[in-house]
């Protein structure tokens, strides 16, 4: 079976990140390219953090999602270069992170509490529950929250 590249992108947008299921792997910028090579679909992906335990789950999820849509011949090409950065996260990805309670990684604006919007926040730990996040606390509403690191 075959499908248009645009259709494949749409399917991949339905594959959530295993650690932050509010955002898809396409929003995260993990999927770099989709192309047919004869009757084999090639999906180029890039890992986020080198040690992220979700990386192998993401690869498995991509293949199984495409299998469910009837694509049997899928090849994943892992590209390291250029390295992934948080600049690859889409605008809709930023909105979804915020709605999920995670301050998105925007180096140009002050970190704001995803609950009350205040910028009166403090970083409590550069390293958080996953490699991609830091721990913050809002001093206005007292909410502790995660911030996606600018990387």
Minimal distance in Å, beta carbon 6 to other proteins?
A: 29
Q: Which is nearer to other proteins, 38 or 51 (CB)?
A: 51
* Rounded-to-10 torsion of CA 114, 109, 33, 54: -40
The tokens describing 70, both together, are: 């009837």
Minimal distance in Å, beta carbon 75 to other proteins?
A: 18
11 touches 69 (CB < 8 A): yes
Where do contacts with other proteins occur on this chain (CB under 8 A)?
47, 49-53, 80-85, 124-129, 131, 135, 149, 151
Q: Which is nearer to other proteins, 8 or 84 (CB)?
A: 84
Minimal distance in Å, beta carbon 118 to other proteins?
A: 22
């Amino acid at each position: 079976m075959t499908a248009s590249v645009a259709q494949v992108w749409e399917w991949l947008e339905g594959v959530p990140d295993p650690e932050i299921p509010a955002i898809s792997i396409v929003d995260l910028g993990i999927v770099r390219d989709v192309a047919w090579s004869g009757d084999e679909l090639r999906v180029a992906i890039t890992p986020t953090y080198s040690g992220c335990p979700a990386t192998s789950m993401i690869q498995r999820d991509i293949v199984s999602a495409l299998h469910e849509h009837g694509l049997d011949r899928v090849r994943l090409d892992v590209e390291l270069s250029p390295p992934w950065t948080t600049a690859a996260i889409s605008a809709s990805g930023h909105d979804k992170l915020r709605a999920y309670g995670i301050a998105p990684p925007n180096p140009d604006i002050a970190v704001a509490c995803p609950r009350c919007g205040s910028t009166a926040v403090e970083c409590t730990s550069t390293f958080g529950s996953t490699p991609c996040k830091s721990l913050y606390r809002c001093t206005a509403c007292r909410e502790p929250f995660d911030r996606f690191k600018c990387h």
